[in-house]
Amino acid sequence: MVHETYRKLLEVMAEVVDLNRAAAVLHWDRLTYMPAAGAMARGEQTATLARIAHLRSTSPEVGAWLEALRPYEESLGADSDEASMIRVAHRLYEKATRIPTELIVEQALVAAAAHEAWLKAREENRFEVFRPALEQVVDVSGRVASALGYVNSPMDAFIDVAEPGITAAFCEGLFAELRAELVPLARAIAESGRQLPDSVLRNHFPAEQQLACGTAAVRAIGFDLDGRGRVDTTVHPFAIGCSLDDVRITTRIRPDDFGNCFFSLLHEAGHGMYEQGLPRRLDRTVLGEGASGGLHESQSRLWENLVGRSQEFWQYFLPRAREFFPQQFAGATPDAVYRAVNRVTPSLIRTEADEVTYNLHVMFRFELEKAVLEGRLAVADLRDAWQDKLRQYLGLTAPDDLRGVLQDIHWSGHFGGAFQSYTLGNVIAGQLYAAALADHPEIPEDIARGQFGKLFDWMRTRIHECGAKFAPGEMVQRATGKPLQARPYLDYLGRKFRSLYGLS
């Protein structure tokens, strides 16, 4: 018999999830079709929903139920849905009750205004236009970190929300391990004197066909577009789950560049497939979502890079891409496209970075966030600090703010703990893919034939269907039998790029 108090807890969870999903639809609309003048009212609507959701989920009644459910939780197996539900709800309740509702509302309003300021600053290509709003974002974020509490760094407060159980120190250790191999690899590639030609991707690719071609690809890998998903265009690509059966992805299109739209779509479809694969029995509960930002990113990076930038994928997909672009791809070979989409070159934009240099972008953003939150760097100096780090890590200088400090949307809503999940995602993707290959060595041959089912099912069973029952470290341990580690990912990168660039 279902515990009466447990049933009441589930009812409140369902309401809170509904409120959050309503906010998600408003968010999607704001970033796609909303007229610009709607921004302030939309900010108020979002803040109202956030306030009601926060009040509901932090009511003393919920706290009392969670206390009363302790014996019930202890009587169940720790892996059971019910025990996991109570455990995770308790954790979220404790975190949420530390933040006053007024601060949640203030954060939502500041974020709405900052997003508009960020858009305006991008239009004018001037960081100064964004700076005052960003100072407010940093101020509110700092107060949220204090409210959440931390021992070593404000970053820990946010990382523990995004990646339960993971600390800034753990991330720094991981970054050091990656840096030790990726910096020499990038240098060896630069010094090899070889470069992979990518002219096959630099042609005129009309926007409409790009969208159709990318949509065909995401459908092929398994994103369900038959009444359960949609694809739109926006400034900054994203994926959002408005419900289990309403998952939306977006992309941006550059008519002179095939890769931008195509790989954004594979990436967001990876997120979307995770959202569509969450367990129905856990829907409208705290467990009915992705396990963490890093786990989510592992799914997007898997399909974007380990699959989408593989030799086998282009053996399959080039003939299909040619249906949309008969002239542009007329003389192309799968191998030529494979090489073109894996060209390594230090670049200014994180989302367009190759696999070898991508994590360097993440590392320096992480360092900047940490320095600002710890009061070692002023927002007014962020632009110059960005240039210093860019030089230090990638040997580049941003010619303007648009291609520098204004490029990411993240700081227009919240400051701190947003970027480490990208690198965790890359690392986890490498580890999951290696484990899936050990179980099914024929996966690459399948991909060459356009069959993605085995890999998809492996992810669905081991990752998607667990929802948020376990913390990311435990998810990886359960899925692969090993603790979260960088080795498989580094081996994958080393093997692939040493071969592509003819390095020993």
Q: Where does this chain bind Zn ion (CB under 5 A)?
A: 300
Q: Which of 344, 315, 327 is nearest to 203 (CA)?
A: 327
Identify which of residues 262 and 501 has a Cβ nearer to Zn ion in the complex.
Answer: 262
CA distances from 38 to 25, 49, 116 (A): 15, 17, 11
Smallest distance, Å, CB 294 to Zn ion? Answer: 10
Identify which of residues 355 and 401 has a Cβ nearer to Zn ion in the complex.
Answer: 355
Smallest distance, Å, CB 374 to Zn ion? Answer: 26
CA distances from 437 to 405, 443, 446 (A): 39, 6, 11
Q: Which of 392, 396, 410, 290 is nearest to 351 (CA)?
A: 410
DSSP 257: B
User: Can you list the alpha helix ranges (DSSP code H) found in 125-226?
Assistant: 127-148, 154-162, 168-191, 207-221
Identify which of residues 88 and 362 has a Cβ nearer to Zn ion in the complex.
Answer: 362
Smallest distance, Å, CB 300 to Zn ion? Answer: 4
Q: Which of 222, 234, 196, 236 is nearest to 302 (CA)?
A: 222
Residue 394 and residue 346 in contact, taking contact as beta carbons nearer than 8 Å = yes
Smallest distance, Å, CB 267 to Zn ion? Answer: 6
Identify which of residues 305 and 311 has a Cβ nearer to Zn ion in the complex.
Answer: 305
Smallest distance, Å, CB 59 to Zn ion? Answer: 33
Concatenate the DSSP letters of all residues of 352-386 into one string: G--TTTHHHHHHHHHHHHHHHHTTSS-GGGHHHHH
C-beta nearest to Zn ion: residue = 300
Q: Which of 213, 288, 210, 281 is nearest to 247 (CA)?
A: 288
Smallest distance, Å, CB 452 to Zn ion? Answer: 19
Task: State the catalytic residue, choosing from 73, 163, 268, 297.
Answer: 268
Identify which of residues 324 and 366 has a Cβ nearer to Zn ion in the complex.
Answer: 366
CA distances from 394 to 68, 167, 342, 356 (A): 54, 26, 17, 11
Residue 164 and residue 91 in contact, taking contact as beta carbons nearer than 8 Å = yes
Q: Which of 291, 286, 288 is nearest to 93 (CA)?
A: 286
Residue 407 and residue 350 in contact, taking contact as beta carbons nearer than 8 Å = yes
Residue 57 and residue 66 in contact, taking contact as beta carbons nearer than 8 Å = no
Chain centroid offset of residue 497 CA: 24
Identify which of residues 300 and 311 has a Cβ nearer to Zn ion in the complex.
Answer: 300
Report the distance separating Cα 364 and Cα 239, nearest Å.
25
* Amino acid identity for residue 62 in this structure: V
Q: Is 374 a catalytic residue?
A: no
Smallest distance, Å, CB 358 to Zn ion? Answer: 12
Residue 282 and residue 81 in contact, taking contact as beta carbons nearer than 8 Å = yes
Identify which of residues 90 and 464 has a Cβ nearer to Zn ion in the complex.
Answer: 464
Residue with token string 């060209």: 343
CA distances from 424 to 184, 262, 296, 493 (A): 20, 23, 10, 15
Helix (H, G, I), strand (E, B) or coil at 246: strand
Tokens representing 241 are 């789950």
Helix (H, G, I), strand (E, B) or coil at 241: strand
Identify which of residues 58 and 264 has a Cβ nearer to Zn ion in the complex.
Answer: 264
Identify which of residues 300 and 426 has a Cβ nearer to Zn ion in the complex.
Answer: 300
Smallest distance, Å, CB 292 to Zn ion? Answer: 12
Report the distance separating Cα 504 and Cα 499, nearest Å.
8
What residues are labeled active site?
Answer: 268
